[in-house]
A = this chain, B = another copy of it.
Amino acid sequence: MFTKVLVSEDMEDINKGVHSALCELGVKEIQQVQYCDDAYLKIKKAILDDVPFQLLISDLSFKTDYRTQKFQSGEALIKKLKEECPSLKIIVYSVEDRLQKVRALITDYQVDGYVCKSRRGLNELSKAIKSVLNHTLYLSPEVAQAFNANNNLEIDDFDIQLLKQLSNGLSQEEISTHFKNNNISPSSLSSIEKRLNKLRIEFKANNAIHLVAIVKDLGLI
């Protein structure tokens, strides 16, 4: 079993749950952080001290508070860590169940496991840890299809970004120039119109106002 594990998760109650699960698996040293930046520092320091962590269990979304963070999300943290410490195993433990996201984390960042927080989440997490110990990728059932089946009606990060800018009061033209300035593709006005049209159809919205209202109610933005 792993002997040194770090848990990065902002909610203290979930931290407790994960902690007890790790204890049951016989992990000797368990450390916990509630901020991505802390996770990064702890992991780097442990390497310098020659007592590195073997496994990181991390959430994706962290509520922002007064502490400004270098890493704005679990994703950013994971990206950096996988670049700098490829031997560190990483399991994502998140409510996020959009297949697009899971797919990206695995193909782009090579995470070693993805477990959806749910009723049986802790149980799944235990399975994932055992699996990762044997260098085998583990996906919890909710997202196991992330590679097999193709879910065509999915919302990706670009869509979210687009909807957010829209809800922030930017016109489609302003969004276009904003995307151009930030090297986000596609950025043409035409593409933005097309995407919004796709989203309107997907959410059965009459117009852009309706669309924003719907996705806000769904909690997507």
Contacts and interface: CB of A to CB of B under 8 A. Distances in A.
Interface in A60-102: 63, 65, 96, 98
Nearest to A96: B219
A206 B13 contact: no
A133 interface: no
A216 B166 CA distance: 14
A125 B145 CA distance: 37
A96 B119 CA distance: 18
B169 A118 contact: no
Interface residues of A, number: 40
A17 B217 CA distance: 28
A18 to B, nearest CB: 6
Given A119-B34, A119-B65, A210 B169 contact: yes
A10 B122 CA distance: 12
Interface of A: 10-18, 20-21, 34, 63, 65, 96, 98, 117-123, 166-171, 205-210, 212-213, 216-217, 219
5 contacts: A11-B119, A13-B122, A167-B213, A209-B209, A212-B212
